[in-house]
Amino acid sequence: MSDREAEFREFVAVRMEPLRGLAYLTCGDWQVAEDAVLSALAKLYVKWNRVDNPEPYARTAVVRAAIDETRRPWWRREQSRSHAMPDSVVPDDATGAVDERLRVQQALGGLPSRQRAVLVLRFLEGLSVQQTAVALKCPEGTVKVYTARGLDALRQVLGTEMEARHEAAV
């Protein structure tokens, strides 16, 4: 095995799971996320000697691949609902933090793919507006607009859920 292959294998071993999580948060389906990561890593392998900083390249490629996968016609026709979240959780359950993460994840799933990608890159991956714009190949203004609209949509969905839960408890 050459040094080039060893470096690539080490990179994949370290970054595979974080990239898979990023893809899942971008598209909302584990199988599609896996496909997006593998596609991105295949592209990275071909360019491995020419890429100076592989982590941003891989992150960008994964997000784009996940968005592209959700735009395909078969995705709209055959998307499984097996990963859908349950309607309610037992109030005395000690997993409140998990419940909150699942609610946010479900709300993210309701956003358009580009808005979701912007929010995931900005707030979960910690990228700046400029880095997100580069990753998605769009103007910084678009990132700002998608951020604002996405956050408003999340606030509206999550706020409505909170109001409904409060009214049900009263």
Q: What is the pTM of this model?
A: 0.61
pLDDT value of residue 16? 93
Give the mean model confidence (pLDDT) for residues 24-30.
Answer: 86
Average pLDDT, the chain: 81
Indicate if the pLDDT at residue 11 is higher than 90: yes
Q: How confident is the model over 39-62, as a mean pLDDT?
A: 91
- Tell me what pLDDT residue 168 has: 60
Tell me if 40 sits within 8 A of 80, measured CB to CB: no
List, for residues 69-105, the tens digit of each pLDDT value. Answer: 766 655 444 444 444 444 444 455 555 667 777 788 8
Which two structure tokens, joined as six digits, stand for 158? 């999550």
Which structural domains are found in the chain, ordered by start? 1-78 (1.10.1740), 93-170 (1.10.10.10)
Task: Kindly provide the b/e burial profile for residues 28-39, where b requires at least 16 CB atoms within 10 angstroms of the residue's own CB.
Answer: bbeebbebbbbb
Between CA 160 and CA 22 the distance in angstroms is 27
pLDDT at 84: 47
pLDDT at 24 exceeding the cut of 80: yes
pLDDT digits (tens, 9 = 90+) for 105-160: 888 888 888 899 999 899 888 899 999 999 888 999 999 999 999 989 888 888 77
The average pLDDT across 57-65 equals 91
Give the mean pLDDT of 44-65.
Answer: 90
Q: What is the pLDDT of residue 161?
A: 63
